[in-house]
Each structure stands twice: as structure tokens, then as C-alpha cells.
Amino acid sequence: MFRLDEKVAVVTGAGSGIGQAIASTFAAQGARVFLLERDARAAAQTVEDISASGGAAVAVACDVSDAAAVTAAFARVDADAGRLDILVNNAGIAHIGTVESTTETDLDRIYAVNVKGVFLCSQATVPRMKRHGGGVILNLASIASLIGLVDRFAYSMSKGAVLTMTRSIAVDYIKQGIRCNCICPARVHTPFVDGYLREHYPGREEEMFQQLSAYQPIGRMGTPEEVAALALYLCSDEAAFITGQAYPIDGGVLAF
């Protein structure tokens, strides 16, 4: 079960964190994975780790907010693999602020990556999947797509858009064999979290880490590998009856 043999997958933002875990998990299950990533060094390290474990991965330099870069990246996938079965729109950035403190520049920056990036990669993917009889698009949304989070105005805006894009793609292309779902994590312990704590709470990192962990009723943050396991299921043939859905992975946040 959950094998991805002979599948070609694109994972955006796969140089670290959740994207890296998804790329590694997919490769371990037999997929050939293309890592679309701005950070060439991080992408190369992920490819090296996957190759050392016997998997197949290729790093492709790409800023998902740049239409020309996305076009070139997917042309590279065409040239190397000739098909595309799975797209994981994982690349994203965060922002802290209310509607008052968020600047126009902040909003445009979040929109460019978190919304436009999903649009551009999905737009590039759908025709390729249609030519080969279907495929799976999986978007990384957030519990911010489903509930209000304090001081996350622009970020929540972007992840709400990811949720509605997910459902729109699902209904538009269900007859072409394309499934589209999204995952809605609560806090996940990634290098981003550690960097955020170092920058904003120097000397109080452990205290604030515990505070952020306690937000989840289960008492901790999620792990990238746990999100990757859910992504594997949703992109596998075992999930063939699932489309247009938002899957929380939230340590109980939405239940309380």
C-alpha cells in the first residue's frame, strides 16, 4: 500500500521542513521527485540525502512567484521525465501582523508566494496531467484556512485562498481524472520555527517553544514526517475516492 512506483512528483519548497519530508517520503515509496526550490544549496543537500537512501530526486531552481521560472522548471520536468503524476504545492512564507500593521508590501509578498505560486504551478500542471489521464494536486494550506488566528492577517488570507483554489480545481477537473486536496496543519516543528524563536525571543527560545507547543491540545507541535505521511496517503492510489477536501493535522486544535 501507498507505493508510488513509476510516479513522477513535483514538490515545491522541498529544501527543508515539510517539503523536504514530503520529497523524501515520496522518493522512499518509489516516486521520482523533482524538487522546485529557490535555495540551491538546500535542494542539493536534500537530493544528496534522497540518493544516499536509494531514491531518485532532481533539484530544479525555481521561484514559484515568477511565471517565467515556473514555465522553465516544468519544461525541465517534461524534458527529464515526460510526464507528471503528482504536484505538491508546499512552498510558502509566513507573516505576523493584523490588518492595521500589515503593509501593502507585506500583503503583496505573501500573495506572490502563497497564492500566486500555487496558481502558477497548478496552471502549469493541469494540462500535463490531462494529457496523461489525470493525477493528484496536493496543496499545503493551514488551520488558518479554517479558523481565525491572532496576528496572522496576511498569512490567513493566503491560506484561505489555498483552500478555495483547492476546491475549485477539484470540481473543475474531476472528470479529467485530476484530484485536488489540501492539508491544514497546526504548528509544525520546522527550521522556520527555530529561526523565528532565535530572531524574536533571544534567550527565551525554550520558554516560547513550550508556549507554542502548548497551543496544540495534544501538547506538542507536529513533525514534518507526520505531515508527509498524510501527504503520501492523499497522493497515493489508496486515496482515489478523495477530492476537494481539507485535511486538518492539528493535534486537536479544531476539536476544542
Which residues are paired to 135 by β-bridges? Answer: 178
Counting every residue, how long is the chain? 256
CA 85, CA 120: separation in Å to the nearest integer?
Answer: 17
112, three cell numbers: 506572490
Catalytic: 155?
A: yes
CA 62, CA 72: separation in Å to the nearest integer?
Answer: 8
**Can you give the C-alpha Rg of the chain in angstroms?**
18
Checking 155-159 for CB contacts under 8 A at 24+ apart, the result is 155/94, 155/95, 155/96, 155/110, 155/114, 157/107, 157/110, 157/111, 158/92, 158/110, 158/111, 158/114, 158/115, 159/114, 159/184
Q: Which residue in the list 111, 155, 215, 233 is annotated as catalytic?
A: 155
Catalytic machinery residues:
155
